[in-house]
Structure 1
Amino acid sequence: MTAAEEEFDLKTAFAELVQGDWSRFDHLLHEPVEPQVIADTKATIRCHYLASDPSGNPRVKPLARQLSKQILRFCTPRSRLNSIKSIDDELERDEAMTEAVLNARRLFTTKQENTGEGGELLLYILLERHLQVPQILSKLSLKTNTQVQVHGSDGIHAKLEEDHTLGLYWGESKIYKNYTSAFADCFNSSAPFLIGSADTQDLFLIKEYADLGDLNLRHAILDYFDEAHPKSQKLDVRAACLIGFSVDEYPVLPADIEAARIAIQNDLTKWSANILGHIQKHGISNYQVEVFLIPLPNEIEFRDSIRSALSES
């Protein structure tokens, strides 16, 4: 096999890591304005609003229920899923899949009112399904105490570019009542991962536990994390931030999308200026950052709906 064929196989195998598409969510989350790059940075802002029902009520609970249906792939290592799928006996296979779902549910925190795991789940969906950037390590699967949230980054995803650069995305999710606190806390948490002052433990977890469902693919990707290997020069550290916050007046979408666009664009201009300040403060203008803004009718309702949906799923 030639080197070119090896690279083609690597890219194909990596692309196949993406589990699903955006079709199950595009009717629940709307993006009223185009993604925007903040001037003099490499940060892209995407703004998603909840769709409304015919009575004009934002569809918080339907979104929560749909998110809860994604926990198996979010929480379960690929090798375990592949092992279950390979079971010949149908009854045994069904039992193993049911057990995996129950185990995934138990990994979520149920007693902490301010848990951000619903935001982490939504960030996973936005990266994997919307941007086609797959998760390479399920941190929830490493939990030893189900009532304690994971430490370090909130998600670890990666993208193999055409020039063979591996973009490593440190995920951070914040769900707050107001956007100023959410923005500040999010960049206070994510910036240290970009500049390399807080990534030691998570890099160790990648090297020890990254599960890509295929040993050859795992070895090829881990070369990027070996400083003695030439591929380490092609590791590009990035950030993916999901920031949810309550807003007073919620648009009725998609019914009033045309009328709402001007107001939303005005808000986005204000939010972008605030985010630019945090990027400049932390000196991360040269790092690629995907910022997902999720205005909510009520952040407490979102948290409660996620917990309720997980208990019912």
Structure 2
Amino acid sequence: MTTDTKASPLFDLDKYLSAARDKYDKCLDVVEHKEIISGINVTTRLHHLKFNGNCQPAIDVLTGYLYGRIIDYCLAMKNRPALMTSEEAAMFTKEAKRLFINPTPKPDDPDKTGEAGEILLYFLLETVLGAPQIVAKMDLKTNPKLESHGSDGIHMKWNEPESMVDLYFGESKLYQDVGQAMTAALASIRDFHDKDIFQHECKMVTKHFKYAQPQIQHAVAELFDSGKPGIGVRVNHACLIGYNWAEYGKLPSLAQQKLTEDFRARYLADAPRLHQLLQTRFDTWSKKNLRFEVFFLPFPTVQNFRDAFNKELT
């Protein structure tokens, strides 16, 4: 297999990252915690919005950065020039904007954030995990008014300590209620495996690989055998759990630094509740071989985030 040689392009997957870590650092942060999920391999991260100089959550800063990445997120590099003139950048930005929709919420899936949550998960996977997007699913839409099916993103990175390629399938759920978001995310992942979506998405990796360079495309193709991951690939699910958090309305009037300290203390105090909610769902989870990366991210309201991102698209 290609990974047996140190000349493998897979070792340099991180060079395909398009979202910059310094952008993450300007609007988001993470709270260290000690809680764990037992019985399955799950890594949880307590992310949160930073506060701006006027002590407001930096939603506009975040959505501005997300908007700045819509060409990379939406359009495969093989379908656009690596270096663009200002006219080309304007043209491809317009094309990327056209692919976004405002989904209609359904009774069994009230997530009204839709693709705003998906591009946020892309941003986290690239900046936090260092796993570049390898399929631009938005680019595969045959009808821009339809939602993309399957996972909410496909990313990959080389795990040097374990000499393994980690393949990540994204699942973004931004609900008013955090427990409902968890339940919906795991239900989607269960269907992903039970309804043969998994093998279809694996075939997409080789058929619709995002980058034009033949060496990396060939190296990735060698990782799959008849549409299934080979022995050098580990399957992970990356879940964004966004939710409304009432504590935003209880914060005292403090200067920015003190307000941040107070917020982070409240968030850390809520960590046991979040993990217990997640633990109860994994206690009845049958697919114990899968690995999970869970990004928690509370908002004043998820609708605020959706509205701010849609404003960027107008």
TM range (shorter): 0.7 to 0.9
Match of 2:78 in 1: 79
Query: How many corresponding residue pairs?
Result: 301
Amino acid at match of 2:224: F
* 1:150 maps to which of 142, 148, 151: 148
Kept in 2: contact 1:194–1:237 (CA 8 A): no
The answer for unaligned runs of 5 or more in structure 1 is: 88-92
Q: Measure how far apart 1:111 and its partner are.
A: 6.4
The answer for unaligned runs of 5 or more in structure 2 is: 106-111
Q: How does 1:165-244 map to 2 (within 5 A)?
A: 165-193=164-192, 197-227=196-226, 232-244=230-242
**Hey, what's the Cα distance between the residues in 2 that align with 1:57 and 1:164?**
43
Amino acid at match of 1:62: V
Match of 1:43 in 2: 42
Deviations 1:101-137 (A, max 9, x none): 1111111114647241111111001001221111110
Q: How does 1:71-150 map to 2 (within 5 A)?
A: 71-81=70-80, 83-85=81-83, 93-110=85-102, 112=104, 114-150=112-148
Kept in 1: contact 2:173–2:181 (CA 8 A): yes
Kept in 2: contact 1:143–1:150 (CA 8 A): yes
**Hey, what's the Cα distance between the residues in 1 that align with 2:208 and 2:235?**
19
Deviating above 6 A after TM superposition, structure 1's stretches of 4 or more consecutive aligned residues are none
Match of 1:70 in 2: 69
Match of 1:282 in 2: 285
Q: Measure how far apart 1:35 and its partner are.
A: 7.7
Amino acid at match of 1:156: I
**Hey, what's the Cα distance between the residues in 2 that align with 1:96 and 1:109?**
23
Task: Classify the secondary structure of the residue corresponding to 1:53.
Answer: coil
Q: Measure how far apart 1:140 and its partner are.
A: 0.5
Q: Measure how far apart 1:196 and its partner are.
A: 7.7
Q: Measure how far apart 1:34 and its partner are.
A: 4.4
Kept in 2: contact 1:194–1:287 (CA 8 A): no
**Hey, what's the Cα distance between the residues in 2 that align with 1:254 and 1:78?**
41
Match of 2:310 in 1: 307
**Hey, what's the Cα distance between the residues in 1 that align with 2:36 and 2:158?**
21
Amino acid at match of 2:267: I
**Hey, what's the Cα distance between the residues in 2 that align with 1:20 and 1:151?**
24
Kept in 2: contact 1:13–1:217 (CA 8 A): no
Match of 1:90 in 2: none
Q: Measure how far apart 1:51 and its partner are.
A: 1.7
**Hey, what's the Cα distance between the residues in 1 that align with 2:306 and 2:3?**
48
Amino acid at match of 1:291: V
Computed over aligned residues only, the root mean square deviation of the Cα atoms, in angstroms, reads: 2.5
Kept in 2: contact 1:170–1:190 (CA 8 A): no
The percent of aligned pairs where both chains have the same amino acid is 27
Kept in 1: contact 2:202–2:227 (CA 8 A): no
Q: TM-score, normalised by structure 2?
A: 0.86
**Hey, what's the Cα distance between the residues in 2 that align with 1:238 and 1:96?**
36
Q: Measure how far apart 1:296 and its partner are.
A: 0.5
Deviates more, 1:151-160 or 1:94-103: 94-103
* 2:266 maps to which of 260, 263, 266: 263
Q: Measure how far apart 1:239 and its partner are.
A: 0.3
**Hey, what's the Cα distance between the residues in 2 that align with 1:150 and 1:111?**
11
Decide whether aligned partners of structure 1 residues 127 and 111 sit closer, same or farther in structure 2, where only a CA change above 3 A counts. Answer: closer
**Hey, what's the Cα distance between the residues in 2 that align with 1:228 and 1:78?**
23
